[in-house]
Amino acid sequence: MFLEPFWKQNAGSSSIMVAGWHRMGYEFEDGSLISKQLENVIHKLHETVGNANTSNKYILFGSGSTQLLNAAVYALSHTTYSSSSSTKVVASAPYYPVYKSQTELLDSKKYKFSGHTSSWRNKTRNDKFIEFVTCPNNPDGRLNKAVLHGKFTRHIYDLAYYWPHYTPIPAPMDEDLMLFTLSKLTGHAGSRFGWAIVKDKAVYDKMVEYVDLNTYGVPRETQLRALKLLNVVVRGDKKEMFRFAHTVMRSRWEKLTEILSTSKRFSMEQLPSQHCAFSKQVRPPSPGNH
């Protein structure tokens, strides 16, 4: 909710009107389930912020990154070929609990949650692994990197917080499968809108298959709203929302630091400052949602 005041200040440019007869059908004019305009503004957004390289990659929408997490596990477990038929899904502790609960939900024969990356270091051999890499990590704010590098290991980069209000952006990420969500960018958690940036066509196709069979795409009014909001984010000098958001997060973080500095029982972990290419400043992290 910390961005609600920003959207109140920009009420005129960020509201949508949806007529009763607007976009009733399943598909857009081109037969797809996604708005090309929205896809284009997402490319522009990442180019502007410099947090992800989207060129020559596919973009896919989901009902929050929530839906895309499992779509990615499904797709990678079906497109990685080794002698083992089941894939081990792992993450580095402390990790987002949904990685585990969602992987276990449907008790698939194809993949199984298999705990922490630390148990499997140098033991990947011929097994198939999917590693969730969360950067910056929730709850500890670290810019995590992949831990496992076996021949049959694939990575899902959960970049929900890789935006300049939460962390310095040292350089654009250029990974094979990256996930983002509107909720952490603009604050619209209730809209359930996320997107995946995918390098490999076969992986992208399998993710599309999953989303199609799971919900048959993302509501058209949600896509319209995301388009309207992102157009505000990328307009003008393209830094207006990020300036507002960073100011709020930094001031909260400073308050917390000050309070904890007087405590003898609690202390703050020191996270390093880094150069942020977006703000052109050396900045400490200012994590949100912890």
Binding site for a second copy (CB under 8 A): 1, 3-4, 7-8, 10-11, 13-27, 63-64, 66-67, 70, 74, 98, 101-102, 105-110, 183, 187-193, 210, 213-222, 225, 228-229, 232
CB of 248 to a second copy, least distance (A): 14
Would you say 106 or 171 has its CB closer to a second copy?
106
CB of 52 to a second copy, least distance (A): 23
| Contact (Cβ atoms closer than 8 angstroms) between residue 70 and residue 99 | no
Residue from 60, 65, 275 nearest 184 by CA: 65
CB of 91 to a second copy, least distance (A): 16
| Contact (Cβ atoms closer than 8 angstroms) between residue 72 and residue 177 | yes
CB of 230 to a second copy, least distance (A): 11
Q: What is the largest CA-CA distance in the chain?
A: 63
CA distance 198 to 189: 23
Which residues neighbour 262 within 8 Å (Cβ) at sequence distance 6 or greater?
Answer: none
Would you say 59 or 211 has its CB closer to a second copy?
211
Q: Tokens at residue 33, please?
A: 């389930």
Would you say 73 or 177 has its CB closer to a second copy?
73
Residue owning tokens 């705990």: 115
Q: Tokens at residue 180, please?
A: 């983002």
Would you say 88 or 225 has its CB closer to a second copy?
225
Would you say 20 or 267 has its CB closer to a second copy?
20
By DSSP bridging, strand 128-134 and strand 153-158 are parallel
CB of 143 to a second copy, least distance (A): 25
